[in-house]
Structure 1
């Protein structure tokens, strides 16, 4: 249980720390774009090699595909609703939503995998991706204003998000023996779909808007770093 708690904290602290950095300093937009693009690259690697591939190998292709599309569809619909209600402020909220929609199944998979060899690999991939995502989201939420209630409330929201992910990791580890491989594969594929939707809908377009043509290089660098760490 202690190990699960430490792993959960290791995924949550980058979220809270990244949000604090994004709120504390007005990071130049090109640098923020580079961080977001780097995080996008790590998320691409995690979605493919740490989430969907294990699911695809564990269950039938149609099963993994349906879970993947369910994750992507859930985020796409929720993000569209945010766009409709919040306008420009929706980008930061969309990234926070993405942290939950891909973080909950990711941390579920992390919790049940702690007895195997994949735990540390998935932990590193999650932690690397969480930091720039939180920095970009918190900074965007602060700059956009809207119904967030100021920097203190934004930080509290990210702290609550991190706390949820810690609880998910601990709970999944405690119930690990009763969670079948098919269920684990489903949440992994769901997380992969949500991650892909976050990338396509929010993270990569925002990075390109703020950075420009060169962010593709930073994205590739993030992918390479995560791939090497997971290799």
Structure 2
């Protein structure tokens, strides 16, 4: 990696609880993801994958270590940024394992909302939302409410929502679990294209072996530690 990393973790640890009941979810994790890079994060259940993603997204504070995003120090014994909600809105696109769509908005408006909250005009936001849904082959369902979408359709809407504000950092927790092989590849190819064209950093937690070939690198976690890294392009 030649460019400065967009995601940089140095000695990150996360502990839940204290004393004899303490559980160490992450231990001395060092990881860098650069612009244009698509990195997969794998490991057995309980290895710390989702915890690590939540730490990077500033949803969960680490117990130790340093975190920098897009070249800015974010955590060093405490949060160094006052407005974490703004940071997440402007710099991070998060694709959750469960779609978390707002049930009272259509698919299109779920995607557009992310842009209008960032200040885009509503008409422009809805137009871009439609384009993203088309790319993910769910454009024909743009006017459907979440309750009328299949699990796979809802997840593709959630992916579109995460990409709406063109964030430099995209984090995804099992984004293709509800998708068939073909649509999983479509979704990952879109994430790869976004990474290349916008010089974004993409980090994906996955057990989905059918998309392993879409990553530049696979990072394996075990017991909260980085166990191995494999260059997929090698």
Using the size of structure 1 for normalisation, the TM-score is 0.30
Structure with more of its chain in helix, by fraction = 1
Q: Identify, as 1 or 2, the structure richer in strand.
A: 2
Higher gyration radius (CA): 2
- Asked which structure has the greater RCO (Cα within 8 Å, sep 6+), the reply is 1
